Amino acid sequence: MKNEEPKRKLRIRILYTFLAFACALVLLGVRLVFLQVIDSENLQRMAIEQQTRDSLVASQRGAIYDRNHKKLAQSSTAHTVTANPNEIKKAKKDILETAAKLAVVLEMDAEDITKMLQKETNHVTIKRRVEDDMANAVRELELTGVYLQEDAKRYYPYGNFASHILGFVGVDNQGLGGIEMVYDEQLKGVPGRVIALKNALDTDMPFKEEKHIDPENGTNVVLTIDEVIQHFAEKHLEAAYHEEKVKAGASAIVTDVQTGEILAMVTKPDFDLNEPFTLPEETAASINAIANEDERNEARSNALQKLWRNKAVQDSYEPGSCFKIITGCMALEEGLITPETPFFCSGSKKVENRTINCSHHDGHGAQTFADAVKNSCNPAFIDVGLLVGKEKFKEYYKAFGFMDVTGFDLPGEAKGVFYSDQNYNVVELATASFGQGPIVTPLQLMTAVGAVANGGKLMKPFLVKELLDSEGNVVSKTEPTIVRQVISQKTSEQMCIMLENTVANGTGQNAYIKGYRVAGKTGTSEKLPRGSGKYISSFIAFAPANDPKVACLVVLDEPSNGQYYGGAIAAPVVGKILEDTLRYMGIEPQYTEEEKANLEIYVPDLKGLSKDNASKNLTNQGFKYKVVGGGDTIKGQTPAMGSMLATGSVVILYTEDNSTGQSVIVPDVTNLTLSAAQARLAEHRLNMIVTGAGATGNSSNLTVANSQFPAAGATVTEGAAIEVEFRYLDVD
C-alpha cells in the first residue's frame, strides 16, 4: 500500500500536466482560429499597411463649360509634397537640414516644416498644389522620407467671372459652393492609387516595386449661361454697383423666356475663384483690427459667407411695382378687367382705416388700366387687387410659383413668403396688389414674369444644360420643363402690349432701346423697418415685346448715391444689358418710322472728292456741312469716316493740306433737356448722339441729360460728336 501512494500522486501530476498542456493547446487552437479565420481580414489589412506605402493619385476633376463650350473651370496636373517623419528618424537623417532644403524650394518657413517633421507619424502633408517646376526641384534634392504625390489644381481662367454660379473647391478638391458643390460627385471622378513595398525600417524597397491603379476622370458640366452675355451683365451691373454706391449688393439675371435657361446670373460684389478665401482689403483690415481671436475668426467667417452668398437665388425681398405685372394678369385672366377698363387716381386710396399714397402725389386722374400700367399707379392696382379678391389673389400667387422653390440647380434657394391666413386682410390684399408685403426671390420673379412673356407657360429655370464624359459623349441632358400653364395666351399678349407701352411712353423709358420693342416694369420697395430710408431698386424687362426671346432683371439693394427709384437707376442697366444681348444674339432691330428718321448713320469718306460732290453727298444723306479753307478738293473731315452721326448733324470739310478744325472745350450739358442740350452743343459747333430715354422721341422737361462723353471740360475738334445719355425722371 505504501508503494501505491507515490504512484497515485505521480499519475495525478501527470494528469494535471496533460490537462494543462491540453488547455494550452486548445487556447492556442482557439487563438489560431481567431487569427486565421475571424480576424484574418483585419490582420491582412494591417500587414499590407505595414509592408506597403499606399498613395492616392488625384483624379482629374471635370471641366465646367458655358453653353458654347468655353472653359470656365478646369484642372491641371500638380503635386503634393508629403513626408514620413518616422522614416527620416529611423534613417538618422538631420531633420533641420531636411527642413531647410525644403523651405528654400517650396518657399515656406523652415520652422514650420521642422515642426511637421518632428511629429511621431508616418505621414504629413507639407505643401499641396505644387507646380511642375517646384516638384522637379524637390525631386532633385533626393531627400529620404520625402515624397511627391500626383495631385490636381483647380483653375478658373476668368478669375471672378460667374463666381457665384461656378463655386470653388477646397484643399481636398471637394466642391464648396455653386455648381462645384452641387455636382461634386459627377465632377470629382475616382482617385487612383500607387502601392509601393516597404522594408522593416519603414523605407521603400530598393527595387521600387510599385502597383499603379489609374484614376477615373470626372464628368464635364455644360452650363446654360453664355460667356458673352454673362460678361455684358457683369460689366453693366458692376458699373451701376459703383456709380449708385450700392451698400447691400446687387444682382442680375438674364434668361431665355421660351426655355427657362439661365443665360447670365450675376451678384455683386463678387470674388476671385482662384482665391476664394481672400476678403476685400477694406473688409480684411477691419476684421484684423479685432483683438479677440474668437471674435475675429467669427467675423471673418461671416464676411466670407456674405461674400459667397448668391443674392439672385438666396435673398428675398419685396418686389415693389414689378409685381403689378402679376396682379394685372390675375384680373385680366379672370375677366374682371380689360386694358380699356377705366380707373381714377386722386393721388391716394383709403382702404379701411389706412390711406395709401400713389407715387404721383397729385394723382393721375381718369385713366384706363393700360394707362395705370404705364403710370405704375398704386390706387388703380389696389382697385384691381380688390376686384380679384383674397382667395383668388393667393391662388394665383401660388400658381405663379412664389410659394415654392423653383428647384433650381444652385444651393440655398429661398422660398417666397406670403401672409398667413390670420394676418391676411383687406389692407394686406391692397398693399400686396402693388408689391408691398409679399416676399420673393429675384429668381422667382424672373420665372413668373417669364411666364407672362412666354404665352402663360411657367418654365422651370435651369442652369446645367448637359453632362459630358471625358470623350465628349452626352451622359445626361436637361430638357426645358413646363411647370404649368398659369395664364392664357390672350392675357399674355395683352400684358406684353401694355408693358411695351410702359417702356416706350411711361415710367420705364430709361430702358428704351432704339429699334427694339422692349416690355418692362419698374420696381421700388422700402426695406423694413419702414422709414429707415433704405430701398431696393429693381427693373424687369423682356424683348422683343411682340416675340419675347430674352428677359432681364436687375436688383440694386440699398443704393446711396441720392436716387433710389428703380425706373431711374435699375432700368438703364437692364436697357444696356438687353441691347448688347439682343445685338449679340443677332435679333434684327425693328425701327419705327420715327426712329428711322432719327437714326445715326455712318459718315462717308469724303477725302479726295470735290467740294461740290462732297456737299451733295452729305446733303443726300441728311447731313449739314461746313467748309474750312479756299481749295476745291476735300483734304480732311471731322468727324472721321465711319463715325456715327444723327441726320441733321454738321460735318466739317477741310480743303487745304494740314488744315485742322478749331479746338473746342466740351460744355456741360448734364441736367439739360434734350432740346437745351442740343442747342448748347450746337453753340460750341459740336454734334450730339442721343442715348437712353432721349431716344424715345418723347422730349419733355422730365427727360434730362444724365451723363456725357467726352466729359465736360475735355478738348475736342469742332464737329466732334458728344454722346449724351438721357434719363426720364417721372419714374417709380
Question: Checking DSSP bridges between strand 220-223 and strand 64-65, what pairing results, if any?
Answer: parallel
Q: Is the pLDDT of residue 207 over 50?
A: no
Determine how many CB atoms are found less than 10 A away from the CB of residue 400.
27
Q: State the average pLDDT for the chain.
A: 90
| 193-196: Cβ within 8 A, 24+ apart | 193/54, 193/55, 193/56, 193/57, 194/54, 194/55, 194/57, 194/149, 194/150, 195/52, 195/53, 195/54, 195/55, 196/52, 196/53, 196/55
How confident is the model over 9-23, as pLDDT tens digits?
777 778 778 888 888
* Residue 699 banded pLDDT, cuts 50, 70, 90: low
Lowest mean pLDDT among 99-113, 474-488, 615-629, 688-702: 688-702
Most confident among 186-190, 300-304, 621-625, 696-700 (mean pLDDT): 300-304
As beta bridge partners, residue 80 has: 149
Helix (H), strand (E), coil (C) string for 339-407: CCCEEEECCEEEECCEEEECCCCCCCEEEEHHHHHHHCCHHHHHHHHHHHCHHHHHHHHHHCCCCCCCC
Kindly name the residue from 321, 359, 538, 615 that is annotated as catalytic.
321
Determine whether 321 is an active site residue: yes
Q: Is the pLDDT of residue 416 over 70?
A: yes
Q: What global pTM score does this model have?
A: 0.85
pLDDT > 90: percent of the chain: 61
The residue ranking higher by pLDDT, 597 or 632, is 632
Residue 696 grid coordinates: 424715345
How confident is the model over 442-462, as pLDDT tens digits?
999 999 999 999 999 999 999
CA dihedral 356, 358, 364, 367 (to 10 degrees): -70
Q: Where are the beta strands (DSSP E) in 84-224?
A: 124-130, 146-155, 192-197, 210-213, 220-223
Q: How far is CA 190 from CA 77, 82, 215, 217, in A?
A: 15, 21, 6, 7
Contacts of 337 (CB under 8 A, 6+ apart): 331, 369, 384, 387
